[in-house]
Amino acid sequence: MAHEDMAQNISTKTLPSEQGSATMIETTDMTHKITKKIVGYKVLTKDDVEPVKQEPEQPSLESMNENLARPEVLLGSTYKIKTPQSEHALYITINDMILNAGTAHEERRPYEIFINSKNMEHFQWVLALTRLISAVFRKGGDACFLVEEMKAVFDPHGGYFKKGGVFMPSLVAEIGYAIESHLKHIGMIKPEKMTDHQKNFLDEKRKEFEAQHGESEGQAFPEKAVLCNKCSTKAMVLMDGCMTCLNCGESKCG
């Protein structure tokens, strides 16, 4: 019996041949010509067809954007700033939003910032600054650039030293340092950690310097230390003809 081309994927038919044997013609969406002798056959039913397994849809990850609705409750942290330029302290509050809560992709991102103080001298520009920073937070993306921009602001009337010998070039810079501390706390900025070898080296440097110039009485760093341009801390000392910072490890000799 001659084999003819037929359409596939409709059914499977079994036709008797003249010699009593069976000839099977499969019908599919594409034409298929049978050129070999059929040695067996099976009639497919609906139960034999395996259902196509559909993979579960992966939920899309939520990211910070300006259209994200503000929840009723936000987690927040408050940082106190006390400067020698004012008798009243500033209180910086940063509220965070929890994205993808309860999943492996849970993350905490800043949503808004408030600055409060009894000192009304800087009220106007401080209010404007908080609104701009909050807008950047809600926009999404990497907001860490704000830290470097604010830390680079210098006061034309001069800066001041904080406890521990850290130099603050302006009040704006100190607000930037507070934001940096918060971003490190929530994991947006990864702090650079010194190795044990570097820590031991700086400890030895400090002991050698104090042995020659006297111990620092209750101070974080030796009294004769000068300002480090990298970490803005009064911790740079001269040892072995090379200026080395006892705080961050910065060295003029590389």
Query: What is residue 128's predicted lDDT score, i.e. its pLDDT?
Result: 96
CA angle 146, 149, 153 (to 5 degrees): 135
pLDDT category at 133 given cuts 50, 70, 90 is very high
Which pTM does this prediction carry? 0.64
Cβ atoms of 164 and 222 within 8 Å: the answer is no
Give the residue-averaged pLDDT of 70-78: 92
SS (H, E, C) 67-113: CCCCCCCCEEEEEEECCCCCCCCEEEEEEEEEECCCCCCCEEEEEEE
Per residue in 159-176, pLDDT tens? 998 877 788 999 999 999
Cβ atoms of 94 and 182 within 8 Å: the answer is yes
Among the ranges given (17-31, 86-100, 208-222), the one the predictor scored with the smallest mean pLDDT: 17-31
- Residue 239 Cα distances to 79, 98, 166, 214, angstroms: 36, 48, 21, 14
Cβ partners under 8 Å of residue 126, min gap 6: 115, 117
Q: Which residue has the higher pLDDT, 32 or 153?
A: 153
DSSP string, 143-200: -THHHHHHHT---TT--EEPTTSBEES-HHHHHHHHHHHHHHHTTSSPPPPPPHHHHH
- Provide, rounded to the nearest whole percent, the portion of the chain with pLDDT above 90: 32
